[in-house]
Chain A
């Protein structure tokens, strides 16, 4: 939730500011932008530290040396080139699913349907790719990516429409739609579009190899990461500097003020949902085209839920989503190393992610109350 400091305004001098250094003009939102940004950065980092300490206790109770585990976490996430590549690959879908929560949050909606949108995006990418088989590689890839994006957008757009015209709580509906999406996905890949040559697990028809998304030259990281980062930057600029972003900030800040201003509330809600859902759908399409080459259960590994965590840790700011997703991607990527070295369950990193989430939510209670920041 957008939280900014009340005390931050206090440190503004009464005299006029000098003609605008670029950084100060960043925000239309509360007082000095840098103070607000500094505050949310401090809160997020503080929450992270507290979560790590709690995780250390958890690990120690399990009979392991916390420091050694921290070391392995670092090594598994960012210690080597190989682990960095793993972290980046993990981060790529998370960046996009985080937008599925972060963008609707700007208009005051708490959408947690990233998982469903991602799954459907992947599914639709397979269908589109199959339908355009025989087309030149880049056209097929484009069609598949667009198809995935549209599927995700429609899915979350429906959440916005239900909210606006039927008053359905968007958090509940997006959560339940996740289950429907996953059920639909499982039904299709285990029957109608199943590739029966794959016997190990239910897998859809393969995407024509020509449509695959390759790696960034010199890295074993696919181009999806670049697409995600680019989209974050574009959305950051749109939300900050355009009239559309301004309208969303008004609506997200006070619906009654938006009514007085005559803003098209329904349209804004749905546009925000379409953008968020589109991002998550795109994530699914990229995973299919760049990593799996088909739609299978490997797509349902919780990227959508991790995205919620990332969006909150980034305080719904698309730009902050990028580093946070890299961090969380790193933590996920180090799960394997923890498993091998300490014989801990793979889910251990999920405990850490859960702790981080709780600490971040709790930390917002301190917004505007950090004394020394107001000095």
Chain B
């Protein structure tokens, strides 16, 4: 099972097509993933990257075309079949059991587990296995104690342990710090160069492609536009192909003359409990003025999620106060409407949307009870529909109809839907959490521009983000959150990436030690 010398499979797809209703998700895609190389799949959201990969993995069945593994045509009908062929996938979200040890998680994934497990022998075998790996984890450690980077490594180790020699990594670096990302990817590259592994890297990030991939395939609108060696191409060329005619704009963010005084939103000594009952947010105070973007930077899991949930009304504060426009803010609908408070939280489909309702209904979430849509307690469907169609057009939401269910949309389009709803005309305080998480560069730039535009209109913006590039691009002021506290504050002009990074990781290092 752990036979490393066996060469990795060569996977080739020919004229693969897949259609979902009226959407051609994949159109005559042909590509060859050469064994022992890192192959990047680059494309916007909805470009067809995941559809292509899921066809190979047996989650979808292609309408036409064929998949060849080591030159043999295979009809892959189920994930089990692809696993048997040695194809594996590492997802964006972790699939580990956090209460269990590393060893238990590895053994757990095996197809056949004996009724009685000889743990001594398993541990010996695992230590032996780890010795052949470029990165190691102590089999006895509990998964809960692992950092995000280590979990990601464990996911990869699991695939290798299970004998998968063709690995698809779905945006593996979205949860990692830059250092961890570099480390994981360079080790994947090393494995590939030793001829033990073929890696397919799904990504949006040009830097990762240029640095770690040997081949790169660009996709757009379900088609494969080009495949090239990474060394023979350039970021500019890739960007041109990936975005087509659309230009990549960055949010205009010239130095702004003085921020208006007076806080619009003030948070005082806020404390909040996390899901496990421990204090996740501790004595946090900050103020956001109208017309400025205050960014809260930090590594994921340092209290940002709980802070945003308190502000959004999804979690109760343990102590402290929130003031908006000088009044105690109780997060009721009438206050939200009076003070113009709008929120975009993480994972909008789970947190901000109603899956079972239509795009139109989700767009109306904030407006359905006010004129012109509401009329004496009645929802005026015609008005609502016109209004929704206008928003869909203005924000270029790709949906088959305003009546399509929101969960039939791609992630980027869900994000756009929520943003279209939240960036309304009465916006005065905008609270955002990782607004561009998982979005491609063009969509992110567009959203950044929208946020900057809102700020220029005089909106107070609180941007909670794990993406330091985003923070540095947009923020007027930056605070760093670590271990549930605000540990650092700096103006944008004085902000320094490495200094911020040091503050972001300070407490988490202290905790780990």
Contact = CB atoms under 8 A, between A and B. Distances in A.
A14 B400 contact: yes
A29 B361 contact: yes
Contacts of B20: 10
Q: Which of B314, B357, B358, B401 has the most CB of A within 10 A?
A: B357
Interface string A348-371: 000000000000000000000000
A301 interface: no
A242 B405 contact: no
A6 B406 CA distance: 10
B361 A243 contact: no
Interface string B376-409: 0111011001000100000000001101110110
Given A260-B345, A262-B332, A262-B333, A28 B352 contact: no
A10 B312 contact: no
B354 A249 contact: yes
A88 to B, nearest CB: 32
A134 interface: no
A28 B343 CA distance: 23
B361 A12 contact: no
Q: Which of A11, A244, A250, A257 has the most CB of B within 10 A?
A: A257
B388 to A, nearest CB: 10
Contact of B381 (A4, A10, A25, A259): A25
Given A9-B21, A242-B378, A257 B353 contact: yes
Given A247-B369, A261-B365, A30 B351 contact: no
Given A10-B22, A32-B403, A243-B374, A260 B354 contact: no
B313 interface: yes
Contact of B352 (A8, A246, A257): A257
Contact of A243 (B350, B353, B358, B369): B369
A256 interface: yes
A30 B356 contact: yes
Contacts of B360: 28
A12 B354 contact: no
A53 to B, nearest CB: 31
A260 B361 contact: no
A262 B313 contact: yes
Interface in A203-260: 241-247, 249-250, 253-254, 256-257, 259-260
Contacts of B401: 9, 12-13, 16-17, 31-32
Contact of B357 (A13, A29, A33): A29
A10 B368 contact: no
B312 A12 contact: no
Interface bracket on A: 35 or more
Given A10-B22, A262-B331, A262-B336, A257 B400 contact: no
A300 interface: no
A245 B360 CA distance: 15
A241 B352 CA distance: 22
Given A10-B21, A30-B358, A250 B379 contact: no
B405 A12 contact: no
B266 to A, nearest CB: 19
Interface in A321-372: none
A263 interface: yes
Interface residues of B, number: 47
Contact of B377 (A11, A30, A243): A243
A334 to B, nearest CB: 37
A249 B358 contact: no
A25 B368 CA distance: 16
Contacts of B334: 262
Contacts of A29: 356-358, 361
A162 to B, nearest CB: 19
B400 A9 contact: yes
A259 B369 CA distance: 15
B314 A253 contact: no
A27 B361 CA distance: 10
B408 A6 contact: yes
Given A243-B368, A253-B356, A259 B385 contact: no
B366 interface: yes
A2 B365 contact: no
A191 interface: no
Nearest to A243: B369
A260 B343 contact: yes
A320 interface: no
Given A6-B405, A260-B352, A31 B333 contact: no
A259 B378 CA distance: 22
B335 interface: yes
B405 A30 contact: yes
B355 interface: yes
A188 interface: no
A249 B21 contact: no
B379 A242 contact: yes
Nearest to B331: A262
B356 A262 contact: no
Given A30-B403, A261-B333, A12 B369 contact: no
B385 A20 contact: yes
Contacts of A50: none
Nearest to B343: A260
B313 to A, nearest CB: 5
B460 to A, nearest CB: 18
A42 interface: no
Contacts of A12: 21-22, 400-401, 403-404
A20 B402 CA distance: 12
A282 to B, nearest CB: 23
A71 interface: no
B400 A254 contact: no
Interface string B390-433: 00000000001101110110000000000000000000000000
A31 B356 contact: no
Nearest to B373: A243
Interface string B320-356: 0000000000011111110000010100001111111
Given A14-B400, A257-B353, A260-B312, 13 more contacts: A10-B21, A12-B403, A13-B400, A16-B389, A17-B401, A28-B381, A31-B401, A243-B369, A249-B357, A253-B356, A257-B365, A260-B351, A264-B333
6 contacts: A7-B21, A12-B404, A16-B401, A31-B403, A244-B377, A262-B313
Interface of A: 2, 4, 6-14, 16-17, 20, 24-25, 27-33, 241-247, 249-250, 253-254, 256-257, 259-264, 374
Top-3 shortest CB links A-B: A10-B21, A253-B354, A262-B333
